[in-house]
Amino acid sequence: MKRLIFALLILSLALSACTPPEPTLVPPTPTTPATETPLPDPSVLITTAPEPRSAANAFFEAWMGNDYIGMYNMLSQVSRDAISFEDFEFRYKDFSMNLTLQSLVCDVTSILTSPTSAQVGYQTNYETSLTGNFSRDMIMNLVYESGQWKVQWEDGMIMPELRGGNKLAMSIDVPTRGAIYDIDGVPLAAELEAYAIGVIPASVPSNRWNGLINELSRLTGKTTFVITQLMEEANPYDYVIIGEAPASIVDERMASISGYEGVYLNRYSASRFYYEGGSAPHLVGYVQPIGEQEAEEMKQSGYRIDERIGRLGIEKWGQDMLDGERGASLYVVDPEGNPITRLYKSDLVAGQTIYTTFQEAFQYDLQRAIAGFRAAVVVLERDTGRILGLASSPTFDPNLLDFNNYNSFYTGDLLLRDRPMYNRATQGQYPLGSVYKIIAMAAALESGIYKINDTFECGYEFTELPGVVLTDWTLDYEVAPSGTLTLAEGLMRSCNPWFYKIGLELYRQAGADYLPSMTRGFGLGSLTDVGEIEEQPGNVEVPGDEYSSVQLGIGQGTLLVTPLQVARFVAAVGNGGTLYRPQVVEQVVDIEGNVTYAFEPEPQGKIPVSAENIKLIQDAMLTVTHDPRGTAYGVFRYINYEVYGKTGTAQTGPGELPHAWFSGYTDRKLEGKPDIAIAVLVENVGDGSVYAAPIFRRVLELYFDGKASMLYNWEAGVYITKTPTPTPTLTPIPTSTRAPWQITPDPTEAP
């Protein structure tokens, strides 16, 4: 019983200890209201922090934008202590270059979060130049520091295979660059072995002089006249560049040429050899090494930094096609550079072959036709836009841009004097002069202000602008004024006062923009979209006053055009009104013979002239060359077919001779010889009828007859100016490769 009582007593004490005493209630004073102090809520720490997805996406956006500073600033303190910004940036740049990374996209796939840390799952899709497209799933760990989510960075966040300091290494095999041929399969540019040829004239015995010149002519194709000029005009003790020739040709003649004193033959591996010392160099273009400033970008695009890339013309336009597809092997290597695994391998594919729209022989003769001048000539297939020839003078030898070529060290100012690499045919912007009267005549007829038989007294002077006296060309040449002329005869005689009048009345009656609008409708003031070669748009402005419109009426003032634009609009007049896009590539063919690109005529629009008025303009252009009063009659009087044309003499400034122009077209409708449109420009020489028209005639002879028929007064011989500028000439080459469309199957063989 005593034990039971003792146990109950203990239990009672224990229960009384667990029950809190009843609190003493103290009523608040009237000035101190009762308040409650809430306990901290753990959830508040999570909801006030930025959402981890936003932090992860900000990091990904910085990565996609190559913002390495922004990425580094998002790292946690521990991560920044572990890697410097320089090393961090290098890791990403090295990865991008070796992967040839072009773009990437990161997408969040999962998020796990706690009050002070988070884990974000994401997928990265890589788009590359050489290794295709692929993706990786990765994890990003974040830590909450100073009120922000920070990235706990490690190598595997770039790509899982890079964890532990591993890197990527890319091995690239470069295929042979595709060749460029003319339309008949004559080679224009290829990779091959070549010789740089030069002479020290003083070392050549006088009795062997002629023999050496003949031998050099056989090797290079340059005429003996040109080679003699090169050697005689140079310092006899200097090294004189003669040219380059394929190694196969020089090797065949080595026994003969090596017997001459003073001759230097330096063999080199031509990264790109241009036949004939550069046939159509402004069209074909050239290649050059990758520059230091672009090396990083080019490497990331899949190039080796020892490659050469197209810098001009077709070489630039067709860069990707000519280059082919590189063979690539992508490896993961350890920090010491030892291969761990290969991630990707592809085989190289040879570059494609490009065929031009022109014949090499015709193009070569065009270059010789304007040698010695600062000039340009464009020949278009009138009804399609094919460029059948385009030359700019002075020209240049693109082989001299290859530093493997010994001759490149002796170029001096050959590539600078008179800007030979400047394409005057497409980049030169010139006042058009009287060739523009074709457009002014069209505007006059279309406006309804003038009819074809309206007349105007063409005297020496035009005085209808108060205080201004403008003159006709007949005054300068001291010939009788042209007298009363119809509008058509005004074009034939190239009467300035007639077209001053047109410029003035169109401004007054049709508005300031009427004539410029017609001009733009003929394709002037904008690019032709030739595409394969560089060009300029020219300039067409709205006249600000009557005087400016009067000047525009004769193609002067602020009007600027390129010879290519002129050839295109004259072709449109000849074909009935269609402006075609000029093109210089006939076909592109891959290594298996598949045509991957083929020429097709591309109409770009119609000139804003009715068919009736186009016919009136055509008839007037015919009288320029075939009427005894026409400004070009003397040049074309013995041509036995119809030539439609217009002379132009464009003033350039005080104290300078004018530019000479002639542009026109043919309409012979011959089988196998499509009709052509031609524009000829010769800078600062004088009248269009004296210089440009004869060159135009020679182009016609070369195209239709294959040879020149007469010697011009500025020539010492056909194609040889009296003060000649050496130009590339035909180099003997192996048998031409026939173009695919020229190969006809043997009828005796089964298909």
Task: Report the amino acid identity of residue 643.
Answer: V
Tens digit of pLDDT for each residue in 98-151? 999 999 999 999 999 988 999 999 999 999 999 999 999 999 999 999 899 999
- Is the CB of residue 243 less than 8 Å from the CB of residue 277? yes
Tens digit of pLDDT for each residue in 662-678? 999 999 999 999 999 99
- Is the CB of residue 390 less than 8 Å from the CB of residue 677? no
Q: Read off the pLDDT of each residue in 719-737 and give the average, rounded to a whole number.
A: 45
| Cα separation, 411 vs 401, whole angstroms | 9
Confidence of residue 414 (pLDDT cuts 50, 70, 90): confident
4 pLDDT higher than 80: no
Query: What is the rounded end-to-end Cα distance, in angstroms, of the chain?
Result: 127
552 pLDDT higher than 70: yes
**At what angle are helices 224-233 and 209-220 packed, to 10 degrees?**
120
| Cα separation, 249 vs 727, whole angstroms | 20
Residue 722: what pLDDT?
66
Tens digit of pLDDT for each residue in 603-616? 999 999 999 999 99
Q: What is the mean pLDDT of the chain?
A: 89
Q: Read off the pLDDT of each residue in 197-201 and give the average, rounded to a whole number.
A: 96
326 pLDDT higher than 60: yes
Tens digit of pLDDT for each residue in 160-174? 999 999 999 999 999
| Token pair for 720 | 């040889």
- Is the CB of residue 518 less than 8 Å from the CB of residue 555? no
**At what angle are helices 514-521 and 437-447 packed, to 10 degrees?**
120
407 pLDDT higher than 90: yes
Residue 749: what pLDDT?
33
| Cα separation, 697 vs 332, whole angstroms | 66
46 pLDDT higher than 50: no
Confidence of residue 26 (pLDDT cuts 50, 70, 90): very low
Q: What angle do CA 373, 375, 376 make, to 5 degrees?
A: 145
Q: Supply the DSSP symbol for 654.
A: T
What is 64-98 written as a DSSP string?
HTT-HHHHHHTB-HHHHHHS-HHHHHHHHHHHHHH
Place of tokens 């340009």: 376
Residue 723: what pLDDT?
55
| Token pair for 311 | 């810098």
Q: What angle do CA 567, 517, 607 make, to 5 degrees?
A: 45
Q: Read off the pLDDT of each residue in 58-87 and give the average, rounded to a whole number.
A: 96
Q: Read off the pLDDT of each residue in 15-42 and give the average, rounded to a whole number.
A: 41
Tens digit of pLDDT for each residue in 699-712? 999 999 998 888 88
What separation in angstroms does the CA of 122 have from each of 53, 60, 106, 127, 157? 10, 10, 7, 16, 10
Higher-scoring residue by pLDDT: 725, 279: 279
Q: What angle do CA 172, 175, 176 make, to 5 degrees?
A: 145
What are the residue ranges of CATH 3.10.450.100 in the chain? 46-164
731 pLDDT higher than 80: no
Residue 42: what pLDDT?
40
Residue 738: what pLDDT?
42
Residue 50: what pLDDT?
60
Q: Calculate the CA dihedral of residues 249, 255, 256, 258 and round it to 10 degrees.
A: 100
Q: Supply the DSSP symbol for 378.
A: E
Tens digit of pLDDT for each residue in 144-163? 998 999 999 999 999 999 99
* Helix (H), strand (E) counts: the chain: 25, 29
Residue 730: what pLDDT?
34
Residue 98: what pLDDT?
93
Residue 453: what pLDDT?
96
Residues 6+ apart with CB under 8 A from 710: none
| Cα separation, 602 vs 410, whole angstroms | 44
| Token pair for 655 | 């104290």
Identify the weakest region by mean pLDDT among 94-108, 183-197, 311-325, 718-732. 718-732
Residue 62: what pLDDT?
97
241 pLDDT higher than 80: yes
What percent of the chain lies above the pLDDT cut of 90? 79
Q: Read off the pLDDT of each residue in 465-475 and give the average, rounded to a whole number.
A: 94
73 pLDDT higher than 70: yes
535 pLDDT higher than 70: yes
| Cα separation, 604 vs 738, whole angstroms | 32
pTM (2 d.p.): 0.84
- Is the CB of residue 407 less than 8 Å from the CB of residue 195? no
What class is the 363-400+422-710 domain? alpha beta
What class is the 46-164 domain? alpha beta
What is 438-489 written as a DSSP string?
HHHHHHHHHHSS--TT-EEEE-SEE--STT--EE-HHHHTT----EEEEHHH
Confidence of residue 645 (pLDDT cuts 50, 70, 90): very high
Residue 468: what pLDDT?
95
What are the residue ranges of CATH 3.40.710.10 in the chain? 363-400+422-710
What is 126-155 written as a DSSP string?
EEESSS-EEEEEEEEEEEEETTEEEEE--G
Cα-flanking dihedrals φ and ψ of residue 589, to 5°? Answer: -125, 130
750 pLDDT higher than 80: no
Residue 44: what pLDDT?
38
Place of tokens 């020229």: 742
656 pLDDT higher than 50: yes
476 pLDDT higher than 50: yes
| Cα separation, 585 vs 631, whole angstroms | 36
The partner residues of 484 in beta bridges, in order of sequence, read 457
* Phi-psi category of residue 466: left, alpha or beta, with phi > 0 → left and psi -120 to 50 → alpha: beta
Residue 694: what pLDDT?
96
Confidence of residue 3 (pLDDT cuts 50, 70, 90): very low
Contacts of residues 145-149 at CB distance under 8 Å and 24 or more positions apart, as own/partner, are 145/76, 145/77, 147/49, 148/50, 148/55, 149/49, 149/50, 149/52, 149/54, 149/55, 149/118
Q: Calculate the CA dihedral of residues 327, 329, 335, 339 and round it to 10 degrees.
A: -130
